Amino acid sequence: MGIEFDRVGFITMFTVNAVLWMKLLFCLIKQGGAKVKAGARAPEDAKFFKNRKQGYINDEPIDDKQRHLLENVERWNNIVGNDLEQLPFGILIAWVSLPFTKSVPAYVACTIIFGLSRVLFSISYAYALQPWRSVFYSTALLAVLGLAINGFVGLADL
């Protein structure tokens, strides 16, 4: 007796995984671009960016434009950091619960809600949209909780 996967659940999870990976890649690119514009990359990287001084520590006075650039760096650092904290566990719980899920429609719904909420969280964070950022963050967490409960209920039936 091997582990069986529901086809729709598998396709849904695979698709959500691919979308979340592309979203993370996009966020990493945006994070790197924000660092370049703010001059916040490693000092040795300056040779790759003409006319842009780079370095972790800048003793020069900060004007409003530079402050905005540095705030944008921190925003993208936080978006990427949050993804690195939340995505692995959400994806792990989704994959692990798939073979044992009690309700495939609930699994599919929670998986889609998780993926969509994580994308909308990043957009909301990037554009400073509160309370939407918190709403989407919480919705993604609740979706993962739903996946875990659905998996545990299915395990109880074994």
pLDDT 10s digits, 46-102: 888 877 788 877 677 788 888 899 999 999 999 999 999 999 999 999 999 999 999
Q: Which pLDDT value is given to residue 145? A: 98
Number of alpha carbons in the 13 Å side-chain half-sphere of residue 38: 26
Q: Report whether pLDDT(31) > 50.
A: yes
Q: Which pLDDT value is given to residue 46? A: 84
Give pTM, 2 decimals: 0.89
CA neighbor of 105 nearest in space, from 3, 12, 4? 12
Whether the ω angle into residue 88 lies within 30 degrees of 0, i.e. cis, is no
